[in-house]
Structure 1
Amino acid sequence: MNKIIWIFKSGNLVRSDNTLLLENNEGKKFLPVEGIDEIFLFGEVSLNTKLLNFISEKHIILHTFNYYGYYSGSYYPREFMSSGEMIVRQVEKYTNSIERVKLAKKIETGGTDNMLSVLNYYLLRGKEVEKQIELIKNLRDKFEEQDSPSKLMGIEGKIRDVYFSAFDNITKNDTFKFEMRTRRPPLNEINAMISFGNSIMYTICLSEIYKTHLDPRIGFLHESNFRRFSLNLDIAEIFKPIIVDRLLLSMINEKIVSGKDFENSGGIVYMKEGCKREMINGIDKKLSTTIKLKSLSHEVSYRRLIRMECYKIEKYLLGESDYKPFHTSW
């Protein structure tokens, strides 16, 4: 059972014997380390090397976010599943332009198919998204013509513009007008939710890669440049629509979130702590939700699906099987 510790309050996080201790103005709280995979820090939390050495021994990844909910970085312990053979295979695929584009196309197609699943879900519920579905299908067909990851991402950018243009038809909420995608900084409420949710997904995917033989520094769709990690961005492309987007649309439609849950500072919109907590609870719940796959005799959680995606890429790199990205069917 995966366990995540979310810390919003400022204070000190230290090792106390064989467990963790959070000290702040609310008192002391012990956090048993058994079963913990990740710690997310959203407040100003002080750490020391004793704590970092301890969580390294326990293979716990620590993610930090600033006051506004922007992802700052991760403390990524030394890989305990690292494989020289897998790194060689990843590099071979990355440096072979034909092979890299082939895998990047599969990732882009997987993400696009799941965007279409989101829109079809709302189409069946009477939302006017037929136009966007047809436009996205036409753009998806252009993936096959592209000969570089940058060109694929150019098509993906157009697909996302069409996809996001359907959000206003789905929500019918003046407070959450999409208008256009803005990232750093987000200029309205729905963009703030998308950016925050995506950041959480990138870190979740990073944590699942950590439990496999894959190296998170070597992606295929995203460039392995001066950013530390890129493979987690690739894998997140497949799962963001069905986890983040479905959640935020539900939160708006079910009026779980309102304009009061945001603050505006100089035209830049931020989520308040309560809104962040609601979104995190929703993501956490979704990741724990289990579904039945035709290929398995038992149900698996969405979090497990992310790791299974990593395993499928491993097998593809080793030449054991073809890679087919996960496609949801609601």
Structure 2
Amino acid sequence: MKQLLNTVYVSDPEVYLALKGKNLNLLKSEESIARIPLHNIEAICTFGYQGASPALMNECLEQNISLTFFSGRGRFRGRLTGELNGNVTLRKKQYRISDDEEKSASISKHMIIGKIFNSEQLLKRNIRDHALRVDGERINRAIERLQASRAAVSECDNLDGLRGIEGNAASIYYSVFGECVLQQKDVFFFRGRNRRPPLDPVNAMLSFAYSLLASETAAALEGVGLDSYVGFLHRDRPGRTSLALDLMEELRPIIADRFILKLINRKQVSSHDFIVKENNAVILKDDARKNFLQLWQKEKQQSITHPFLKEKIPWGLIPHVQALLLARYLRGDLDAYPPILIR
């Protein structure tokens, strides 16, 4: 259980939510493990299938406390809100900004800055930790170009310009991403990003991890009352969770890319985990996909100190915290949206 910005996150799937007086009562194996006064809470998010008591749900409705249910893997299941909840106002603000390209650009640039900064830090960490095993000079040249791209984002005020800078920065980053692969280089080579279909094991895992991250980010956005289909940088397209794609930009390097490199360099995946289909698409075998998902869930439980909140949280809560910060900004509680910047 973690309380952040008046939101309680219950990540243990074995915990049942109940009411005790005017308190949120967390029960595990029918024993109370924590109580929190409801007057200190604006929202509750629970991950798992234990659920909540009817009495607690009724009290949340009375006190206008949103109660959001996610599956253990982070899929959005549903949200209970009272009649005075501000979701309509929040979404109307989101839609107005999405229709205004200048305002959309002002938010998008923070997300792109976060993506480029985190890409730089992943590469810097690779040089620092493995100086004798990588081409440090080549990586440093890429880092300098990324820093220039990040400075250009700060000066840009239109969406087309931001997309151009972001695309160029992604190309620079991926041009040296293969240097971060330290083990099994004959199998896990990386010569650039390819997808639809992925043509090598690294791209197959990146695509799978990105799809998981997009799904979890969309769930996080729905959990705070935002419309995951209406974005700022990514424009509206039927069936595309555009706002989730916006928000996950800054999360790709620190969550998905970092995770894939860890799997490869710790030899938790091998050539036997993949098959090549008739169209040359490379995909994970069924058993390997299950193992991937188990390791993904385990990684989400690892702790990190959030640089903006200055509090330790599990990795798996990062999309939820960033969605909450974005909602706070749109409501006017923050002067700007703070992307997560991991050193």
TM-score (norm 2): 0.72
Deviation at 1:82, TM superposition (A): 7.1
CA distance in 2, matches of 1:224, 1:185: 23
Structure 2: distance between partners of 1:3 and 1:224: 35
Alpha carbons 1:293, 1:299 under 8 Å: kept:
yes
Q: How far apart are residue 309 of structure 1 and its match?
A: 0.9
CA separation of 1:79/1:226 partners in 2, compared to 1, >3 Å: closer, same or farther? farther
Cα offset, 1:96, TM superposition: 1.9
TM superposition shift of 1:316: 1.4
| 1:227-306 correspondence to structure 2 within 5 Å | 227-266=239-278, 267-293=280-306, 296=309, 298-306=311-319
Asked if residue 160 in structure 1 is aligned to residue 170 in structure 2, the reply is yes
- The match for 2:89 is 85
Please say which of residues 139-148 and 119-128 is displaced more in the overlay.
Answer: 139-148
Q: Aligned runs of 1:1-330 on 2, under 5 Å?
A: 1-2=10-11, 33-34=49-50, 59-60=69-70, 77=78, 80=81, 83-125=87-129, 126=131, 127-128=134-135, 129-172=139-182, 173-266=185-278, 267-293=280-306, 296=309, 298-321=311-334, 322-329=336-343
Give the conservation status (yes or no) of the 8 Å contact 1:149–1:222: no
CA offsets 1:142-169 (integer angstroms, 9 cap, x no match) = 2234443233222222211221121222
Return the letter of the residue paired with 2:149.
L
* TM-superposed deviation, 1:228: 4.2
Matches of 1:244 and 1:182, distance apart in 2:
16
CA shift for structure 1 position 246: 0.8
Aligned residues: 273
Query: After alignment, is 165-174 or 250-259 more displaced?
Result: 165-174
Give the RMSD, CA atoms, in angstroms.
Answer: 2.8
Quote the Cα distance in structure 1 between the aligned partners of 2:91 and 2:70: 22
Whether the 8 Å CA contact 1:87–1:215 is kept in 2: the answer is yes
Q: Give CA-to-partner distance per residue, 1:68-106, whole Å, 9 cap, x none.
A: xxxxxx886577577110011101211222111110111
CA distance in 2, matches of 1:299, 1:261: 34
> Who is 1:8 aligned against?
none
Q: Which structure: larger Rg?
A: 2
Separation in 1 of the partners of 2:86 and 2:300?
25
Give yes or no for contact 2:115–2:251 (8 Å, CA) kept in 1: yes
Q: Alpha-carbon deviation of 1:61? A: 6.1
* TM superposition shift of 1:313: 1.0
Q: 1:91 to 1:303 in 2, by over 3 A?
A: same
SS in 2 for 1:175: coil
Gaps of 5+ in 1: 5-31, 37-56, 64-73
2:187 partner SS: helix
Following superposition, the deviation at residue 137 of structure 1 comes to 1.3
Residue identity in the other structure for 1:324: P
Identity of aligned residues (%): 26
Q: If the length of structure 1 is used for normalisation, what is the TM-score? A: 0.74
**Is contact 1:288-1:301 (8 Å) kept?**
yes
CA contact (8 A) 1:139 1:155 kept: yes
Mapped to 1, the partners of 2:95 and 2:103 lie a distance apart of 11
Is the contact made by 2:221 and 2:320 (CA closer than 8 Å) also made in structure 1?
yes
Counterpart CA distance in 2 for 1:167 and 1:196 is: 17
For 2:225, the aligned partner's letter is: H
Contact 2:276 2:282 in 1 (8 A): yes
Segments of 4+ in structure 1 off by > 6 A?
none
Give the whole-Å Cα distance in 2 for the aligned partners of 1:265 and 1:190.
Answer: 16
